[in-house]
Structure 1
Amino acid sequence: MIDFNPLEWDIINSKPFQRLRRIKQLAWTDYIYPGAMHTRFEHSLGVCHTATRLFDSIVRKDAELLRSEHGFDDAGLLRQKQIIRLAALTHDLGHGPLSHTAEDCLPFQGGSEKRYTHEQYSAAIVRYELADLIENHPSNKNNYGIKYSDISSMFEGGLELGRSIVWKEIIAGQMDADRMDYLLRDSYHSGVTYGRYDLDRVINTVCLCEDEDGSGHVIGIEDDGIHAVEGLLIARYMMFTQVYFHKTRVIFDYHYGEAAQHVLSSKGGTFPAPTKDGVKEYLAWDDWRMLSEITANQNDLDCKAIRARDHHRLVYHTPECPSLDDLEAFEVAEERLKDLDVVVRDATKSWYKYQREEIRLREARSGKIRSVPLATRSPVVNGLQTVNQRRIYAAPSARGEALRRLEES
């Protein structure tokens, strides 16, 4: 059971948050794992609960450090806890229809080649749609004085957080509440066991560690929590390879990106920018509307591929961690098929990317406490490699010819 206070309930009952009931967490994964029908709504509630548990564990363990080096008193910690809970609730408000797969349709920023991110949309929604509710709510106004920017800065990049910087790691860090929730939740709904790990043990051993240069603190783990975090990282690796980067899921992400751009062609192929007016228009888009548009579009080939599950088929791929020889062979295969209707996808184009990330370990030896990279103490973590698999898909009509050419090579 998860408890919410009156302010949090009012945010949950707001239109932007209720829209998350109509945004599937894993896009087209139910085309492979039929149970994966859960939404960003329950995930956001779970992230709030997990973030609270992480915060409470750190405060319980490192209260003196938080007071002496970060200047938090009891009132300051209560205020920070409320900020974290609100940030956890609202961090995914900016997702478009079918979650991450909509991000190919977000507009470019100011004429650059960099697209807006869903986090920037989340921040804009908090600013333009929820700021009044948050800042003027009696439970906030009379107790905490939290501004909308206190919340959005927790998940929007490039903002100066001051003494709150240490807490941002709970929302967007190497061991954040977001991935701790989605691994277990996605595994459960997909009907697989790959994403399971010991959440309770991770939470019980989480702590503050000195960052790499010793100038501040990041969220890390105590030395007796090494194996629990190893389990978390292995779960993430397995979920990436078996669910998030599943061969069929990947090609449906591609078809959807093309179909969504077609649906939005009258608007330049993108959603509106996260301005005050743009946010209102953006929030009118959810899975229901997008799927309705795709269903109604009878002529577009990508819309048809989604409706009929008549997608491009995998014809060639590298190993998960390819060698130089594997990559050279892939280039040869790609050249042989370049005049056919093929699509090339690789791990860098997956919205759930897997790469090794540096987690800090608080190690106690000979009466001294120091912070070291987890990989220097864990052969499991040190052995994990970045997934860089590449794949070639061919249209159903071209699959036979593609396989024939590859067999001749």
Structure 2
Amino acid sequence: MFKNKKGILKFVFTANIFLVIIISYHEETVITMYIRDAVLGFIEINEKERKIIDLYEFQRLRYVKQLALTYYVYPGALHSRFEHSLGVMELASRIFDRLCVKRKKILRCNFLQIGLSIKEAKQILRLSALLHDVGHLPFSHVGEEVLPEGVKHEHVTIEIIKYLKPILDKTFFEGITEVIINILSKEEIVKNLTILKRIISGSLDADRMDYLLRDSIYCGVEYGRYDWQRIIDCLDIIESESGGYDLCIEHGGIHALESMILARFYMFAQVYCHKTRKIYDYYLSHVMREWYNLFVKNLIDITRYNDISVLNFIENTVREGNNHLYEFAHRIKFRKQHSVIFETSDFCDLPQLINAKKVFDTLQEEFSDYEFILRETRGKIHNFLVRESQKRENVGEKFYVLRNNRPYILTDESLIIRNIPKNFLNTRIYVAYKDKKYERMKESEIRKLIKKAEEIRRSFDNGKKI
């Protein structure tokens, strides 16, 4: 099969990962390369895909941290959107290959209706997965907070892909850019492409599968581990109510899927919404709002910047001193964060939110020597449909389980997923000295404020104020 079975071995060192690229020459002179990934092992890419990976717009992702300043808590969390994007492409490919083993005739017929072969459909899927995060701002989701209202990183991604249209169409085939945009955008999907969209973006997709595994490994925690191989092995397709095909899972894969959803909750609680990480998100959002207004004139401009750009801006702000951003920049540079003295449960309800705000207001009134910050943290654990008869919610994605070749709603089959809350919601109160801003508070003072905040909360729980 190979003209040169040994191939050519090249070693390439990068900022965060060690890549081993093995170039093999096929009979059709198609060059296949393998990137050594810390999470998934070898990731195969072809020569055309490498041209896209080598573009500046994609290489920029090497310098956009996946988890912003989470490395202030978990020192190993230095991985980037670059390797995550490669990982999503690889997992999407493995899912597609598994589905083809089970339903190749159905999928071939589905794609032929819009003039695509199985090979072309897979290439579209791989490119869509590869480019799905190309629009992330510096520090990933934290940077997203500074975008104009209603604009998310997905919108930036679409604009960048449009900008790359001449290269994409020339490298692959005319019109591939529009197909990728249709898959990645929020607009109505061409029904025959539905299955490709579900593989990349859905309640169970390659994106979530990769970042849970990757974030867990690089943070050095066990919370995000789950049996992803079993999930892929059990995936299947089912006719979509809107046309085309959706993902579903065989009954034997339910436990693996449950472990993934639980892993997502634990990662929210212990990593994504960690108290220290969230206060640095707060500082960063203030700095980045000013940075964005100064330097970014349009969405394509974002491709000129990465984490290093913002860190340089922070460094210059600290050096210049005495401006409205100095405090935030100083706290980031020297790791001088506020301390937590109050927090709700991870699934707090409206009464808890109201009481947290009352505690915050009362503390501000009674302790004028301190600076208090109220921060609310939200996250989506899952979006599976839960029937009204089981819970009040009757919205969400209808995801099916195949049992004896018959489809059943997932939350009818899984008690765990049915009962776990869909949304993560936590509220915290942080404190620091007002005059001695950057001095670490004494433990005795923190304990005193924690005790006082709890007393205030209990008083409001009992319907009266102390």
TM-score, scaled relative to structure 2? 0.76
Q: State whether structure 2 residue 427 is matched by structure 1 residue 390.
A: yes
Structure 1 residues 213-222 or 156-165, which shifts more? 213-222
Q: State whether structure 2 residue 360 is matched by structure 1 residue 330.
A: no
Give the one of 289, 308, 311 matched to 1:291.
311
Give the one of 247, 251, 254 matched to 1:223.
251
The 5 A counterparts of 1:89-128 are 89-108=130-149, 114=150, 116-128=151-163
SS in 1 for 2:183: coil
Q: CA deviation at 1:355?
A: 4.0
Q: 1:202 to 1:344 in 2, by over 3 A?
A: same
Q: 1:285 to 1:323 in 2, by over 3 A?
A: closer
The code of the aligned residue for 2:401 comes to: R
SS in 1 for 2:406: strand
Paired residues, what number?
A: 382
Q: CA deviation at 1:179?
A: 0.8
Residues of 1 paired with 2:374 and 2:201: CA distance? 30
The 5 A counterparts of 1:152-231 are 152-211=181-240, 213=241, 216-231=244-259
Q: CA deviation at 1:216?
A: 4.8
* Aligned-residue identity in percent: 34
Residues of 1 paired with 2:109 and 2:62: CA distance? 43
Consecutive unaligned residues of structure 1, counting only runs of 5 or more, are: 109-113
The code of the aligned residue for 1:183 comes to: L
Residues of 1 paired with 2:297 and 2:145: CA distance? 13
Residue equivalent to 1:316: 342
Give the one of 437, 448, 453 matched to 1:406.
453
Q: 1:214 to 1:122 in 2, by over 3 A?
A: closer
The 5 A counterparts of 1:256-275 are 256-266=284-294, 271-274=296-299
Q: CA deviation at 1:406?
A: 2.1
Give the one of 417, 423, 443 matched to 1:381.
417
Residues of 2 paired with 1:286 and 1:323: CA distance? 37
Residues of 1 paired with 2:65 and 2:428: CA distance? 25
What do the CA deviations read for 1:66-95 (whole angstroms, capped 9, x no partner)? 355665599522111100100111111100
Q: State whether structure 2 residue 373 is matched by structure 1 residue 343.
A: yes
Residues of 2 paired with 1:90 and 1:105: CA distance? 22
Residues of 2 paired with 1:360 and 1:266: CA distance? 44
Q: 1:53 to 1:181 in 2, by over 3 A?
A: same
Q: State whether structure 2 residue 165 is matched by structure 1 residue 131.
A: yes
Q: 1:173 to 1:147 in 2, by over 3 A?
A: same
Structure 1 residues 12-21 or 213-222, which shifts more? 213-222
Q: CA deviation at 1:324?
A: 5.5
The 5 A counterparts of 1:58-97 are 58-67=99-108, 71=112, 76-97=117-138
8 A Cα contact 1:106 1:272, kept in partner: no
SS in 2 for 1:204: helix
Residues of 2 paired with 1:150 and 1:42: CA distance? 24
8 A Cα contact 1:263 1:294, kept in partner: no
Q: State whether structure 2 residue 61 is matched by structure 1 residue 20.
A: yes
Residue equivalent to 2:330: 304
Q: 1:215 to 1:134 in 2, by over 3 A?
A: closer
Residues of 1 paired with 2:166 and 2:284: CA distance? 35
Residues of 2 paired with 1:288 and 1:262: CA distance? 16
The code of the aligned residue for 2:315 comes to: T
Q: 1:345 to 1:209 in 2, by over 3 A?
A: farther
TM-score, scaled relative to structure 1? 0.86
SS in 2 for 1:175: coil
Residues of 2 paired with 1:235 and 1:21: CA distance? 26
Q: 1:263 to 1:74 in 2, by over 3 A?
A: closer
The code of the aligned residue for 1:121 comes to: V
Q: 1:338 to 1:178 in 2, by over 3 A?
A: same
Q: CA deviation at 1:117?
A: 1.1
Q: 1:383 to 1:326 in 2, by over 3 A?
A: same
Structure 1 residues 187-196 or 353-362, which shifts more? 353-362
Q: CA deviation at 1:221?
A: 0.7
SS in 1 for 2:145: helix
Residues of 1 paired with 2:382 and 2:108: CA distance? 34
SS in 2 for 1:395: strand
8 A Cα contact 1:314 1:391, kept in partner: yes
SS in 1 for 2:246: strand
Structure 1 residues 12-21 or 308-317, which shifts more? 308-317
Q: 1:214 to 1:373 in 2, by over 3 A?
A: farther
8 A Cα contact 1:51 1:170, kept in partner: yes
Residues of 1 paired with 2:140 and 2:449: CA distance? 32
Consecutive unaligned residues of structure 2, counting only runs of 5 or more, are: 1-41, 386-397, 436-440, 457-466
8 A Cα contact 2:111 2:118, kept in partner: no
Residues of 1 paired with 2:74 and 2:147: CA distance? 27
The code of the aligned residue for 2:170 comes to: N
What do the CA deviations read for 1:229-271 (whole angstroms, capped 9, x no partner)? 111111111111110011111111111001112334535xxx4
The code of the aligned residue for 1:24 comes to: K
Q: 1:171 to 1:302 in 2, by over 3 A?
A: same
Q: 1:214 to 1:19 in 2, by over 3 A?
A: closer
SS in 2 for 1:4: strand
8 A Cα contact 2:135 2:160, kept in partner: yes
Larger relative contact order, structure 1 or 2 (CA cutoff 8 Å, min sep 6): 1
Structure 1 residues 335-344 or 374-383, which shifts more? 335-344
Residues of 2 paired with 1:391 and 1:206: CA distance? 39
What do the CA deviations read for 1:158-215 (whole angstroms, capped 9, x no partner)? 243231122101111111111101111100000001100111111101111344x575
Q: 1:194 to 1:257 in 2, by over 3 A?
A: same
Give the one of 396, 400, 411 matched to 1:361.
400
From the two aligned structures, give the one with the greater strand fraction.
2
Q: 1:105 to 1:191 in 2, by over 3 A?
A: same
Residue equivalent to 1:234: 262
The code of the aligned residue for 2:156 comes to: Y
The code of the aligned residue for 1:345 comes to: R
